[in-house]
Every structure is written in C-alpha cells, then in structure tokens.
Structure 1
Amino acid sequence: MNRFDLTGKNALITGASSGLGRHFAQVLSAAGARVAVAARRTERLAQLQSEIETHGGRALPIELDVCDAVSVRAAVTCAETELGPIHLLVNNAGIANSKPVLELAEEDWDRVMDTNLKGAWLVAQETARHMVRLGHGGSIVNVASILGLRGTGQVASYCAAKAGLINLTRAMATELAREDIRVNALAPGYVITDINRDFLKSKAGEALLRRVPQRRFAELADLDGPLLLLASDASRYMTGTVVAVDGGQSAIV
C-alpha cells in the first residue's frame, strides 16, 4: 500500500498562482488529488488549471483573498460544492517586506501580518470547521519558514508572522486532534524560484549560502517529499510538528 497516494482526496491550496503554491498544486495533483487552486490573481490560475488537466488531473481555480473572511468562506464553500469534501489544506499564501526594522511602517507590518498569520488562521479555521461538520478529518499543512524558527535582519514582520504561524500550528493541532484533523507546518529554507533566482546568485546570496551546511539552496523538488509526507496518511500519527527543509541551516545555533 502506498500511503503517499492521494487518489480520491480533495485539496485546497492557497497562494497557488505562482512559486511554491503553484508547484505544490502540481505535486498533489500528480499524487492523485483533485486540487482547488486559490489566489487573487485568477488569470494565472487558469493557466495552472490547463497544465494540470493536460496531465490528466482535476483543478478548480478559485479567487481568494485570505485577508477577507467573506472571501475565505466563499472559497471553501466553492471547493466543497465543486469537488466534494476537503481532505487537505495547504496554507501557502504569504508575502514579505524587506526593510530595516527602524524604517518599517505600520501599514507594512499590518500587510505582512494580515496575509501570513491572520490569513492563514482564517483559512485554517474555516477549513477545519468544514472538516468537523462533515466528520471526515483531514490534514492542514501550514507553510511557515525557517525564519519562524530563527530571526534575521531586514524582515522583522515576516519573521514574527512565521513564528506566530508555527505556534498557531501547535495550538490548532492540540485542539483538533480528537476531530482526526492533523495540523503540521512545513518550514522551508531558501528555495530557488523565479522571483529570487537573481538575488540568490548575487554577493548577498553567496553570503547566505555560506550559512547553509549543505552549501546549496533548495530546488522546488526538494519540498515534494516533505509535503507529501504531511499531506498523506504516511504522517497519520504526526500533528503539531514543524518539518524544516533547509539543508541543515536551522540546526546551527
């Protein structure tokens, strides 16, 4: 039996229009899941839907603003109506703001906290309510970061939000365990994407690389195994766990 198989499962992925979220949707679809791909930029979701369905999968694009509770409720309802019970949530939507802490404006702070922490809570709460109402349990994977485990300069709001998300993961895991809902966090290190590729090749990127014991940045594919572990029955006795995928960076004191 392949416990990583997601055939017959329905998944909701937030922040699916680009980067990690887009890749996660493709990975879950390839493992057999029907995927509801949600984001604000719906034009990109249509392209993702086409790619997934070309390979024999089923994808449902949904417009979603994770900071808006009404939008969140509508998205979860749409996913349930069109695909059926939601067995899996990948809570991936997030943004960053790079500024020195003394120059960080209140609106900059609020925007990052609202998206990365409040937004994640709203989607996780609504999806968990759905799972409890239908009584089928499920898995919630919150996409955190190693910067929620250790701080760094220039991204204070991001570090604070991801640290909050990690403790939110633990709190929800404790409360929802008896509902057969597992809540875990995936904490990537520096992952090469189209957005940061040039930066990671710069002198600043080279300095970051020296702090990674494996001496390389992650490729998107390096997250596939950990994601499928937390998404599937392979992790059925794991909840409240933070899985760091960072080449050993978080192991350095």
Structure 2
Amino acid sequence: MKIALSNKNFLVTGSAGIGVGSGICKAIDRAGGTLVINDLSKENVEEATKKYNNAIGIVADISKSEEVDRLFHEIKTKLGPLHGVINNAGIGHRKPAHETTIEEFEALFNTNFKGVWLISKAFALDCIEHQIKGNIVTVSSVHAFNSTNKYSLYASAKGALNNLTRGLSIELGKYGIRCNGIAPGYVDSAYNVKAVREWSDDPDQWVKDQIEDYQSIPEVITSLDCGNAVVFLLSEYSKSITGQIIKVDSGFTNLLYSNSFLP
C-alpha cells in the first residue's frame, strides 16, 4: 500500500524542532505532500524548511489568535488552500499541580489546548468556505490515558485534546472534515533524550529499561513511526475513520504491570 499526498498542502505546527514534528514532516514529504513548517524561531524554521522537497516556513505563535489569522493569510497568499493541519505544537510540563504557578498553567494550556482550538477553528472555517474535505490530526500522548507523578496537568491538557478531537469529529463531519489524533508513547527523539537527562544520568539505559519493561513490543518508537500513522490518517485509506486516537506506543498502555512483574 503506497500512500500519495501529492498536490495537497499540510500545515504542521511546532515542526521545526527535534521531536515528533520532524518525523511527521518527513513522512508527509515522502508521500509527496507540500509542507508548511511552523514554529517560534525564525532560524529553526528556515533551517527545517530546507530539509524537504516542497515546503515553506512561517513563524507564528499559535497560542495567539492574531498570529493564527496572520499564519493562515500567509498560507493562502503563498501556497493556496490547505488540505490538512497537524496540531503538533506543544510544551512539556513536569511539575506537581499544587506547585505550578498560574503563569506556568496558562503557558501550558495556551499552547497545548487553546492553540490547537485556534488552528482547528481557522482550518475548519476555510474548509467549509472552499468546500474542502480536509483533515485535522492532533498529537496527543499516552499521558492522556495513563499518567504518572508530576504530570497531572500535562496529562489533563492531552486528555482535553482527545475530547476536543472527538467533539470536532461530530461537529465537522457533515462538512466532510475528519478529525483524528495520535497518542505517542516514549519516542526516541533528541527532544525526549534531553528531557530524560532531568531525572537520569544514563538516558540510554533508562530508554532500554523502558522498552523492555513497559512495552509489549520491545522496539524503539521513532518520530517517523508517528509520522507514518499521521500520513495514514491524512490519506484516503482512512476515509471512514474519524474521532479516533491511535496509540503509537508499542503496547505500552496495554500492560497492567511491567513485563518483569511476572515470569
């Protein structure tokens, strides 16, 4: 099965970094789609845009409505209509809820939830106006299903995204707009390795233990694995799928106990 996304345009928010967004862009690029790279850093956006066959880069803060309006105006001017948006932009937050400041809370939810709503709203209105059967794919997390210490607020934001995805699928289905999401487990990316260093002196060993003890399939999950799942959701092969969250976690959320709990 070969998926072709040629002659279609896709916005991937927060995609100039070193995390899941890079794998999503790579997968869309391989399928022949045209990319809109979006992030906060002009330097990173310009550098990332060079990696792909057909891509433009636009700097914008998706948590601000006026920036989202400008982003979509630039896309229309430079590229034309979008056929899909991938809500990938997000920030991490590893801190107990009772120790989190109001500024940290607002930063988390402004990017991880409000920004997704703003992008999805702008895209939906464009699709309705131009009668485009578009696709919205949102990057959630396994934290929305099974969380852990110090991640209550991060998990709450991701859980909210799952509910938003389901709700949008109901509201927008009559226009032919599909809304789905992916929930990655631990992805072996430079971004996550940097995060692991906060609590482990040996990130490589921590990842090895994570894979062996907490995944049904003891293999590394890559950002490209996430990207391939997104491409499937953007394609005609998933035309009857909407309101779903695909877990790209190698079985992490299937386990009641770690693999080492019982022989």
TM range (shorter): over 0.9
Please give the secondary structure, in 1, of the residue aligned with 2:181.
strand
On the 8 A contact 1:17/1:42 being kept in 2, the answer is: no
Query: For the Cα contact (< 8 Å) 1:141–1:185, is it kept in 2?
Result: yes
Query: After superposition, what is the alpha-carbon deviation per residue over 1:23-75, rounded to whole angstroms, capped at 9, x for unaligned?
Result: 212221221111111111121111111121xxxx2211001101100101111
CA drift at 1:91:
0.5
In terms of mean alpha carbon deviation, does 31-40 or 95-104 score higher? 95-104
| Distance in structure 2 (CA, Å) of the matches to 1:48 and 1:202 | 26
1:121 positional shift: 0.7
1:114 aligns with 2:114: no
Q: Which residue of 1 aligns with 2:200?
A: none
**Aligned: 1:176 with 2:179:** no
The aligned counterpart of 1:61 is 57
1:77-96 matches, cutoff 5 A: 77-96=73-92
Counterpart of 1:25?
Answer: 25
Other-structure match for 1:9: 8
What is the CA distance between 1:207 and its match in structure 2? 5.5
Query: Deviation of residue 215 (structure 1)?
Result: 2.9
Q: Paired residue for 1:48?
A: 48
* In 1: Cα distance, 2:217 partner to 2:35 partner: 33
Give the drift of 1:202. 5.7
Deviates more, 1:212-221 or 1:155-164: 212-221
CA distance in structure 2 between the aligned counterparts of 1:166 and 1:32, rounded to whole angstroms: 28
State the secondary structure of the residue aligned to 2:191.
Answer: coil
In 1, distance between residues paired with 2:34 and 2:207?
37
Alignment of 1:84-233 (within 5 A): 84-197=80-193, 199=196, 201=203, 205=207, 208-209=210-211, 210-233=213-236
How far has the Cα of 1:169 moved from its partner?
0.1
Residue type of the alignment partner of 1:25:
C
Q: Which runs of 5+ in 2 are unaligned?
A: 198-202, 257-263
Contact 2:95 2:151 in 1 (8 A): yes
Deviates more, 1:160-169 or 1:194-203: 194-203
| In 2: Cα distance, 1:101 partner to 1:36 partner | 35
Count of residue correspondences: 248
Cα distance, 1:202–1:100 mapped onto 2, change above 3 Å: farther
Name the SS of the counterpart of 1:195 in structure 2.
helix
Question: Do the aligned partners of 1:34 and 1:83 also contact (CA within 8 Å) in 2?
Answer: no
The alpha carbon displacement at 1:216 in A equals 3.6
The answer for the alignment partner of 2:259 in structure 1 is: none
Aligned-pair Cα RMSD in Å: 1.7
Distance in 2 separating the partners of 1:44 and 1:192 = 20
Distance 1:161 1:11 in 2: 24
In structure 2, distance between residues paired with 1:226 and 1:14: 17
- Please list every run of 5 or more consecutive structure 1 residues that lacks an aligned counterpart in the other structure: none
1:22 and 1:80 mapped to 2: Cα distance?
23
- State the 1:206 CA deviation: 5.4
AA aligned to 1:238 is I
**TM-score in terms of structure 2 length:** 0.89
8 Å contact from structure 1 (residues 96, 155) kept in 2: no
SS in 1 for 2:190: coil
Among 66, 71, 93, the alignment partner of 2:67 is 71
Q: Deviations over 1:88-107 (max 9, x none)?
A: 10110000111123322222
Cα distance between partner residues in 2 of 1:246 and 1:28? 20
User: In structure 2, how many angstroms separate the alpha carbons of the residues matched to 1:208 and 1:153?
Assistant: 16
Using the TM superposition, give the Cα deviation of residue 231 of structure 1 relative to its aligned residue in structure 2, in angstroms.
1.3
Q: Residues 20 and 224 of structure 2 are in contact (CA less than 8 Å); yes or no, is this contact kept in structure 1?
A: no
The reply on whether 1:234 has 2:237 as its aligned counterpart is yes
Check conservation: 1:15, 1:22, Cα contact below 8 A. Answer: no
